[in-house]
Chain A
Amino acid sequence: MSEITLGARRPVIVRRRRWRIPVTAIPYLFLAPATLWYAAFLVYPMLQSLYVSFFDWDGLSPTMTFVGLENYINIFAVDEVARLALWNNILWTIGALALPTFFGLMLALALNRRAPASTLFRTIFYSPAVLPLVAVGLIWAWMYNPHFGVVNVTLKAVGLRSWANGWLSNYEMALPATFVTFIWSHVGFPMIFYLAGLQAISKDYYEAATIDGANAFQRFRHVTMPGLAETHVIVLSLAVINGFKVFDLVYTMTYGGPGRSTQVLGTWMYFQTFQYYHAGYGSALAWVIAAIVLVIAIPYIRRMSRG
């Protein structure tokens, strides 16, 4: 059996073909299905939506009236709900940049120490992120139930009866209450990104810093934070991108209410297009979201395209 050696090649099988695919065409043939699919069902609808945004159209009838930039002007100058929605998106995004990111970083730092049960903790903090957001919204709507919900029952039990309120039916509290749900369901994302980032920082840096007499805070400031620079770009970009895309939680928890106080661009676009049949105006709203997100995503996409 001495003929069997590692790396031995099977005999070359030469097949004769009537015609050969030119070598230069091969990469494009591999790319063709994805490109065509992506162009037909993502890029084309996007451009179609841009086109529609310059018209007054109900989305159904054959007649469309060209109105130029009027839809866009209305968003910023006339429609108060649209401006409120934009403002709510901005508040939501600022919150998303600060809170889940900060908690996620703290959790990652705590869990990176191989503390007892750290795998179990990681599973617990990440688990809400795998649930359908519709289910998350309904679970928390029950938690916020004014009479029987966990939140008010707890507040009453610890003597804070005056804090108990309708939460999701309260004009001031509905958006913050929805945002708390968002923190619960999303803190796992920055946590696992930061954990991956922390694990990529070489232990040698920490040893060197310790030998040089750096204390824990100095090590965090001069080793951990610079080491996480790339992770910050990804985590913060995703926070903004997702902050402007938000839909499911608001739709299931408040339906944009009470009144229209919790409308965000994503839900207002949906209501305008599919409930009030203002397809042109809704498309303009959708393009406002898309433009903001695409511009903010540039550093993220550049980071992803490298390497």
Chain B
Amino acid sequence: MMSDVRRQRRLEQTVIFLGLLALSLIWLTPFATVVLSAIRGQGDLLARGVFSLPKKIAWSNFAEAWSTGDFSIYFRNSLLLIAMKVPLGIFIAALAAYPLAKLRFRFSGAIFIFFLAGLAVPVQVTLQPLLVMMKQLGIANSLFALVPPYVAFGLPFQIFVLRGFFRLIPSELLEAARLDGASEWTAFLRVMLPLSVPALATLCIIDVLATWNEFLIALVLISAKESRTVPVGLLQFQGEYSSQYTLLMAGILISIVPVIAIFIFLQRYFVAGLTAGAVKG
């Protein structure tokens, strides 16, 4: 009887494994399509079809896409934006999360919900006034126009995650610092932040990806080529080279390689952060 149960379990596992294998092959097909289309000449692709192996690998597609698509401009902009937005946003979020997690004061619950409600605000409902505002500030069409809305829309999730993490840090540690004469500011900077490096790092990774990928705000606030970010630039490239399939696929591959690399190497931290707070600890 024992062996029956074991055999049935083995069979069940095999069926599940084969199902997952088949499904994951389907899931990888779009990636394979892009790669197989990007590394060959256009004539080869159209004559022999996407599923064939390339006759000759055309690495030059990548160099050509990079230069004709002006990806160096878009990469520089997206990286600059990340360098400005990510540390600033997470620091401001950490400042706000600290009292919400560790101090007692009036309206703390209401203030927390005020921030949480931002999780449900669609970007669309701020776009037109933001464009007017950035024009008035004289930074419409510059990369700086994206920092204010990106930080604002990042705050709700970041404050939520950091508040949850800060609450797990024993208050005794803060108390000890205060008894040593540390101000609340020092306790935050010297005790809370160093102990929260795992949460801060996770949020950084998530935020880097979100900033790299954001499309709609960048589409509306920026029209000048020299300020475009990668997604807007990629779409522009597609508009100009829509029938140059191999070149276009090389451009797509260029623009997704950074996020794929970050995801593959750092996914452990990343996935845990996304579901933070979704499950009772």
- Bind each other: yes
Does B149 reach chain A (CB closer than 8 Å)? Answer: yes
**How far, in Å, is B67 (CB) from chain A's closest CB?**
19
Q: Once the chains bind, are A30 and B95 in contact (CB under 8 Å)?
A: yes
Does B1 reach chain A (CB closer than 8 Å)? Answer: no
Main secondary structure, interface of B, reads helix
Segment with Cβ contacts to A, from B42-50, B54-62, B195-203: B42-50
Report the Cα distance A241→B213, complex, angstroms. Answer: 19
Q: Once the chains bind, are A52 and B128 in contact (CB under 8 Å)?
A: yes
Report the Cα distance A134→B126, complex, angstroms. Answer: 21
**How far, in Å, is B147 (CB) from chain A's closest CB?**
9
Does A283 reach chain B (CB closer than 8 Å)? Answer: yes
Q: Once the chains bind, are B159 and A138 in contact (CB under 8 Å)?
A: no
Residue of A30, A49, A128, A273 with highest tally of chain B CB at under 10 A: A30
Segment with Cβ contacts to B, from A38-46, A77-85, A158-166: A38-46
**How far, in Å, is A60 (CB) from chain B's closest CB?**
9
Size of chain B's interface in residues, with CB distance under 8 A? 100
**How far, in Å, is B193 (CB) from chain A's closest CB?**
12
Tell me which residues across on chain B come within 8 A of A294, comparing CB atoms: 117, 120-121
Report the Cα distance A282→B52, complex, angstroms. Answer: 47
B 232-281 contacts with A by CB, 8 A: 232, 234-235, 238, 245, 248-249, 252, 255-256, 259-260, 262-264, 267, 271, 274-275, 277-281
Q: Once the chains bind, are B181 and A286 in contact (CB under 8 Å)?
A: no
**How far, in Å, is B36 (CB) from chain A's closest CB?**
10
Does B80 reach chain A (CB closer than 8 Å)? Answer: no
C-beta contact mask, B115-157 vs A, less than 8 Å → 1, else 0?
1111111111111111111000000000000001101110100
Does B92 reach chain A (CB closer than 8 Å)? Answer: yes
**How far, in Å, is A64 (CB) from chain B's closest CB?**
12
Q: Once the chains bind, are A234 and B126 in contact (CB under 8 Å)?
A: no
How many contacts between A and B, using CB within 8 angstroms?
296
Report the Cα distance A248→B96, complex, angstroms. Answer: 31
Contacts A31-B95, A42-B126, A150-B50; is A301 near B16 (CB within 8 Å)?
Answer: no
Partner of B151, one of A10, A37, A143, A197: A37
Does A274 reach chain B (CB closer than 8 Å)? Answer: yes
Contacts A26-B103, A301-B116; is A286 near B125 (CB within 8 Å)?
Answer: yes
Does A125 reach chain B (CB closer than 8 Å)? Answer: yes
Q: Once the chains bind, are A33 and B213 in contact (CB under 8 Å)?
A: no
Does B72 reach chain A (CB closer than 8 Å)? Answer: no
Partner of A138, one of B126, B248, B263: B248
Q: Once the chains bind, are A131 and B256 in contact (CB under 8 Å)?
A: yes
Report the Cα distance A299→B104, complex, angstroms. Answer: 25
Given A193-B275, A252-B235, A293-B122, 16 additional A-B pairs, CB 8 A: A30-B103, A35-B96, A41-B130, A42-B118, A45-B129, A46-B121, A124-B28, A132-B230, A132-B255, A134-B215, A192-B274, A269-B124, A282-B128, A283-B125, A286-B128, A301-B116
- What are the nearest 3 A-B pairs in CB distance? A297-B120, A34-B96, A27-B99
Interface residues of chain A, those whose CB is within 8 Å of chain B, are 7, 9-10, 12-15, 24, 26-28, 30-31, 33-35, 37-38, 40-42, 44-46, 48-49, 52, 59, 107, 110-111, 113, 115-117, 120-128, 130-135, 138-140, 142-143, 145, 148-150, 153, 184, 189, 192-193, 195-197, 199-200, 230-231, 234, 241, 244-245, 247-248, 251-252, 265-266, 269-270, 273-274, 279, 282-283, 285-287, 289-290, 293-294, 296-297, 300-301, 304-305, 307
Interface residues of chain B, those whose CB is within 8 Å of chain A, are 13, 16-17, 19-20, 23-24, 27-31, 33-34, 37, 45-46, 49-51, 92-93, 95-96, 98-100, 103, 105, 108-109, 111-113, 115-133, 148-149, 151-153, 155, 159-160, 164, 176, 179-181, 184, 188, 209, 212-213, 215-216, 220, 230-232, 234-235, 238, 245, 248-249, 252, 255-256, 259-260, 262-264, 267, 271, 274-275, 277-281
